[in-house]
Amino acid sequence: MSNTSNHVLNFGAGPAKIPESVLKKAQKEFLDINGTGMSVMELSHRSKPFGAILQKTKDNLAKLMDIPSDYSILFMQGGATTQFAAIFLNLVAKKQDELIKLGKEKEEIVVDYFVTGAWSNKAVQEAERLAPAVQSNPIRVNRVIDVKQKYGKFGTIPPPSEWNLTDPTKHHVAYVYYCDNETIHGVEFPFVPKVNETVPLVADVSSNFLSRPIHVPKYAVVYGGAQKNLGPAGVTIVVVRNDMLVDVNVGPVRPLMLDFKTAADNNSMYNTPPTFAIYMVGLTLEWLIEEKGGLKGIEQANNSKARKLYELIDQSKLYKSPVDPHCRSHMNVVFRLPTEDLEKEFLAGAEKLHMHQLKGHRSVGGIRASIYNAMPEDDVDRLIEYMIEFEKKHSP
């Protein structure tokens, strides 16, 4: 295989590849956005020009996701990691508010977590850290399933028969939480976990945000950082059902910057929002609508890319996927070679061909090809071509 250009294939897990047409449009508008004579980074967040950008971005997100009118779209900061705390504080407050009205303010509240990879594990650890500080109601953090504890490693989604969901008819359940796609371990839920309809469901969709259709009414909160599929790092999108918004003086003490109602009441502008990141999200949403056929169109493209890679891996005698076939990620394809030395050789050869950021996360090693929305299928084909040649070179 020979490389005849300096075209870079960016398989980074995030910050990740941004569509070329989006970058070119941002470049064209960099010094003058919409005839203002200023860069979008220079606009006041309270100006009419930026207000128009923000509203169009919200409108296009609502269109793509078919978000009902009783939901709020929030643009928050601090990445998905900050939302680990925000989810806990806001939804526990919602449940406390309900119990106060029922005269049950001293009774136990339970929060349920699916732990299927590194990021859901970090989320449950944050809940476990915050729970003891909550006054009034005792808080119990329940691991519905902890895959690593049960199987010794992450790499599967166990069947419902192995789940330990809390019974909402016997306990006060504030929410059920899961990470839809585990970036590090390459695990993706092939279904929405079925929970009692009275219990708020929360999904971290950071690394597969807008990669496929999602039925928003099933959720109380859907959130994700933008830096995988929607633009640069710096903004986190939170789609929250309005009945989850409670006064900041109710429930656990929480900073105003973590309070969903404060963000909603101020149209995500309680302080200066990440204006450039929001603008870039807006351009990416336009790209999805105008060039990719919306979520159904991008889902077909993503399925095609992932299918090709997994077919090669499954047919190979050199490459091996550590993830069960039924829950392999369409965004983060992880695989191993027989030895770490061979993996280093593979990565070095890929770099020479301008295939960058294929090294697996430092906590697990191996290879990880992140093939987000912006990754063209041609680039995946070039990776596959290299993988085939590499295997021929190292076949017995």
Residue 129 domain-assigned?
A: yes
Answer for the pair 251, 105: CB distance below 8 angstroms, yes or no.
Answer: no
Residues 269 and 310 in one domain: no
Residues 83 and 155 placed together within one structural domain of the fold = yes
Q: What is the pLDDT of residue 4?
A: 47
Please check whether residues 224 and 117 belong to one and the same domain. yes
- The domain boundary, picked from 266, 288, 310, lies at 288
Do residue 269 and residue 328 come from a single domain? no
Q: Specify if 34 maps to a domain.
A: no
**What is the model's pLDDT at position 61?**
98
Report the domain count for the chain.
2
- Tell me: do 267 and 301 sit in the same domain: no
Type of residue found at 337: L
> Are 163 and 301 part of one and the same domain?
no
Active site residue 243: no
DSSP per position, 270-329: SS---HHHHHHHHHHHHHHHHTS-HHHHHHHHHHHHHHHHHHHHHH-SS-B--S-GGGB-
CATH number at residue 304: 3.90.1150.10
Do residue 281 and residue 314 come from a single domain?
no
DSSP state of 336: B
Catalytic residue, chosen from 228, 261, 292, 305, is: 228
Active site residue 94: no
Model pLDDT, residue 7: 86
- Of 94, 95, 112, 119, the active-site residue reads 119
Q: Which of 288, 322, 345 is the last residue of a domain?
A: 288
Same domain, 182 and 300: no
Same domain, yes or no: 115 and 142: yes
Task: Check whether residue 339 and residue 269 sit in a common domain.
Answer: no
Q: According to the model, what pLDDT value does residue 104 have?
A: 92
Examine residue 388 and state whether it is found in any structural domain, yes or no.
Answer: yes
Task: Spot the catalytic one: 204, 261, 292, 379.
Answer: 204
**Domain assignment present for 337:** yes
pTM of the model: 0.96
| Listed residues 288, 315, 343: the one ending a domain | 288
Nearest-angstrom CA–CA distance, 334 and 16 = 16
Per-residue pLDDT of the chain (396 residues), as tens digits, is 544 457 899 999 999 999 999 999 999 999 999 999 999 999 999 999 999 999 999 999 999 999 999 999 999 999 999 999 999 999 999 999 999 999 998 999 999 999 999 999 999 999 999 999 998 889 999 999 999 999 999 999 999 999 999 999 999 999 999 999 999 999 999 999 999 999 999 999 999 999 999 999 999 999 999 999 999 999 999 999 999 999 999 999 999 999 999 999 999 999 999 999 999 999 999 999 999 999 999 999 999 999 999 999 999 999 999 999 999 999 999 999 999 999 999 999 999 999 999 999 999 999 999 999 999 999 999 999 999 999 999 986
Angstrom distance (rounded) from CA 184 to CA 283:
27
Residue 257's domain comprises 40-288
Calculate ∠ Cα 206-208-212, nearest 5°: 140
Tell me the CB-side half-sphere exposure of residue 230, using CA atoms within 13 A: 30
- Supply the pLDDT for residue 2: 45
* 287 flagged as catalytic: no
Residues 77 and 207 in one domain: yes
